[in-house]
Chain A
C-alpha cells in the first residue's frame, strides 16, 4: 500500500525542521537551501506553508526528461532522479507545473523529493504533525473526521 505526504499548513509554525532533516539526509549537512521541501512564510498573512513534490502519477517531469533519468519507485510511488542519467538540462524544471523539481548548481543535477525510500525525514522531524506520511488513499481522512465532528455537533443541537 502506498503512502503520501499529507501537509496541513494550519499546524505549521515555520520552524524549518523539515528542511533541516531533508537536507541532512540528502546532502549530508544542515542546509535548507538544498532542501527538497520548502516552507513558505507568507509575510503579512501569518501563514506558514510547507510544499514539496506530490508525486504525480503522470509525472510531467519524467515525461519531459530526454534521458529517462526520472523513474518510478514501485514501492513508494516516488518519482526518483538518477544522478547517473541526469544531464542537468533542466527541461523537467520547466515541465513541472508546481516548481517542485529544481536544479542544484553544486552538482549539475536536478533534485526533488523521493520520499526517502518510504520513510520521509521531513515528516519524522515535524514537531507539530503539519507534515505526516499517511495512506495515499486517505490523505483527506483527518479533515473528513473534523468535518464529520462538526456535522455531528450540528445534528445534536
Chain B
C-alpha cells in the first residue's frame, strides 16, 4: 500500500525493460523518493564514476504518497550523480508526471547504461518499451511533448523530457515535465542527455491505494485546512507566488545583485510579484494571467504569464505570444537581479526559453551574471561573446544568450559550462558564485547568515531547498531568529536539513512547510504507509538520508574543504541595507555544525553516528 511495490529497470545499452520488486526493507529505512533512490544509487554505482559515463545511473522516483489526495502529493524526483557538481543530485518536480508514474504502478524507474541512439521510454501501465526518438532529437521540450502525445493519439500521456540543452551537454540542463515543471538543478537533464534518453512518456490507470483510507482522508483533510488557514500557503503563495519574496528579500539586504557585488537591487520592484500583477501601459494586460496548481496541490503557487506582444523579445515571434509558465522567485532573481536586468518582460521571455529548452534558470542566470562581470572586468570581450555586449543590465543580451544556451550554440556553449568552469577557464575562479560547482540561489548569505552554512554544507551544491532557514530568519517560521547573527545557526540548519530530507521523500512538496511541521506530515504518512510513522521517526529518517548523501559525496572525492563559500561572501562586506558591513560567518558556524551533526572535525560522519543511523 502507498508504495506500488515495484520498480522498472531500464538498461539503455541493452534496450531492456524489466520489473523488479521494490526493496521494502530499504523503504522502511529511507521512505521513498529522495531517500530511497539515493540508497539505490549508492548501492548500485561507484560514486567516483564520471557523471556522463554509461556507468552513472539515473533514477526517476516517486514518494509513497505520490498520487494520493494529500495536498501537493504529486511530486517525483530525479536522482543521479550530478553533471554540474559531481556530487549526489536529487532534483524534485511537481506537475502531473509523478502521479502518472505512480498510477502506472511504478515507484521508481532506474535507467542504466547508454542507448546507442536516441530513444524515449513509453510506459502504459505495466507495459514498458523503448521507442526510437531520432526525430525528436534536436527538438525542444515543448515540441517533444506535443509530438509524443500526437504520435500515440493520446493527449492524456504525461511526458518528462530534455530540451536541446540537455542533448548538447549544457551542464545545468533540467528534466522538464508537463511543459513548465522541472527537476531543475545539478544537471540531471545533462545526465539524461548523455544516455541518449530524450523523454519518458507515461500513462497510468491502475490507481493508488493507502493503508487506512478513512484515517488517511481525515489526516489529509486536517492538513489541508492548516494550509488554507495559514497566511503564506493560504493567501500569499496563491496570490503572489514565491515572487512575494522579491521586495521582502531586497529590503532585508539579502538580494544578491550583479553576481553578488551588491546585496540590494534598485530594480527589484520592477521584477516583483507586484509588478507582475500591474496592468501594463503598453497593452492594458497584466504579465500574470493566473495562478496554477500542480497535481493535488491546494496551495497553487504556480505562475502563468503572457509577455507583452510589443516587447522586443516576442514582437516578431508569434510562437512566444502565448500564455505559459511565468516567473517564480528564484528564476526572477537569477534572470534579473543576478544580471542587473529589471525588464520583467525580458525575464519572462528568458524563463520561457528555460522551460522550452530545459535550462535551470538559477544556474543559467547566475552564470550569465558571472560572465557579465568577466565582461565588465575586460577578461572577456565581444570576441568571446560573438559580438554580444554583455554588460550588467542588458536585457537584449540576456534574451539572446538564453536562446543560444538553450540550443548549446555559439557563446551559449560557454555559458552552458556553468559559472565554475567558465570562470576557471578565464583564470578568475573567485568570480563563480557557487559551492561544489552549483550556483547560489536568491539569498545573500551576508544578510541571511544561516544560508551561508546551508549553501556550504548542501549535499547537492549551493541550494536553498536543502535547508530553507530563510523561513526562520526572515519569515519567523517556525520561530524567528536574527538573520544577521550566525550563533545558533548550526543547529537550525541541521534541523531544517533533516526535516526537508524527510519531506522530499514523501511525495509531498516542501512549500507545505511554510505551514506544516513534521507533526502535520506524520499522521498522513502513517495512515498511508506500512509501519508506524511518527514525527520523530521522520526526522531520524531525514538524518539518515542526509548522512547517506554525505557518505556518497565523500566516496566521490569531496571533503570538508568543499564545505566552503566564495571569498566574496567571506571577505567583501555587504555595501548597503541592514547587513551593511557584514560578511558571512561560516568560519564559526562550520565547526559547530560538524559537532551537532556527530561528524569528525574534518566533516566525516563518525562511527557512532553511522552506527546510530544504521548506515
Residues of A within 8 A of B (CB): 13-17, 20-21, 23-24, 27-34, 43-48, 106, 125, 127-128
Residue A125 contacts which of B69, B103, B228 (CB distance < 8 angstroms)? B69
Structural contact, A34 and B68, CB atoms closer than 8 A: no
Inter-chain contact B156/A33, CB cutoff 8 Å: yes
CB A116 to nearest CB in B, in angstroms, measures 14
Report chain A residues within 8 Å CB of B156: 33
A14, B205: Cβ atoms closer than 8 Å: no
- Contact call A27/B294, Cβ cutoff below 8 A: no
Report whether B179 and A20 are in contact in the complex, using a CB–CB cutoff of 8 Å. no
Residue of B nearest to A33 (CB): B205
Say yes or no: A29 contacts B323, CB within 8 Å: no
Q: Which of B209-255 contact A (CB under 8 A)?
A: 209-210, 213, 217, 224, 228, 238
Extra A-B contacts (16), CB below 8 Å, given A15-B297, A17-B296, A32-B103: A13-B293, A14-B292, A14-B293, A15-B293, A15-B295, A24-B213, A24-B217, A29-B208, A30-B69, A30-B209, A31-B206, A33-B203, A44-B322, A46-B290, A127-B228, A128-B300
Is there contact, CB below 8 Å, between B205 and A17?
Answer: no
Assess the B296–A15 pair: CB atoms within 8 A. yes
Chain A residues with CB under 8 A of B291 = 13
**Complex contacts, B206 vs chain A, CB 8 Å:** 29, 31
Given A15-B298, A15-B300, A32-B103, answer yes or no on A23-B207 (Cβ-Cβ < 8 Å). yes
Total cross-chain contacts (CB, 8 A): 80
Interface assignment of B556: CB less than 8 Å from any CB of chain A: no
| 16 pairs, CB–CB < 8 Å, chain A vs chain B | A13-B238, A15-B296, A16-B293, A17-B296, A20-B296, A28-B207, A29-B207, A30-B67, A30-B207, A34-B205, A45-B323, A46-B290, A46-B304, A106-B205, A127-B300, A128-B300
Cβ 8 A contact of A32, one of B99, B179, B238? B99
Seen from chain B, the residues whose Cβ lies within 8 Å of a Cβ on chain A are: 67-69, 96, 99, 103, 156, 179, 203-210, 213, 217, 224, 228, 238, 289-298, 300, 304, 306, 322-324
List the A residue with the shortest CB-CB distance to B209. Answer: A29
What residues on A are CB-neighbors of B203 within 8 Å? 33
Q: Which residue of B lies closest to A104 (CB)?
A: B205
Distance in angstroms between the alpha carbons of A48 and B296 in the assembled complex: 14
Contacts of B209 in A (CB 8 A): 28-30
Q: When the two chains form their complex, are residues A31 and B323 in contact, meaning their CB atoms are under 8 A apart?
A: no
- In the complex, the chain B residue whose C-beta lies closest to that of A48 is B292
A56 to B457: give the CA distance in the assembly, Å: 62
Q: Give the residue of B228, B296, B323 whose beta carbon is less than 8 angstroms from that of A46.
A: B323
**B300→A13 contact, CB < 8 A:** yes
Task: Enumerate chain A residues within 8 angstroms of B207, measured Cβ to Cβ.
Answer: 23, 27-31, 34
Contact B69 A20 (CB under 8 A): yes
Closest 5 CB pairs of A and B: A29-B207, A31-B207, A15-B293, A13-B300, A13-B293
How many angstroms between the C-alpha atoms of A122 and B209 in the bound complex? 18
> In this complex, which of A17, A23, A30, A31 has the most chain B Cβ atoms within 10 angstroms of its Cβ?
A30
B224 contact from A33, A48, A127, Cβ within 8 A:
A127
Residues of A within 8 A of B289 (CB): 46
Q: Is the CB of A20 within 8 A of B68?
A: yes
Docked Cα-Cα span, A106 to B205, in Å, equals: 10
Q: Which residue of A lies closest to B238 (CB)?
A: A13
- Distance in angstroms between the alpha carbons of A15 and B228 in the assembled complex: 14
User: Residue on A with the closest CB to B102?
Assistant: A30
**Cα separation A45 to B289 with both chains bound (whole Å):** 9
Which residue of chain B lies nearest to A106 when distances are taken between CB atoms in the complex?
B205
B208 engages A46 (CB within 8 Å): no
How near does chain A come to B567, taking the closest CB pair, in angstroms?
44
Q: Find the B residue at minimum CB distance from A44.
A: B322
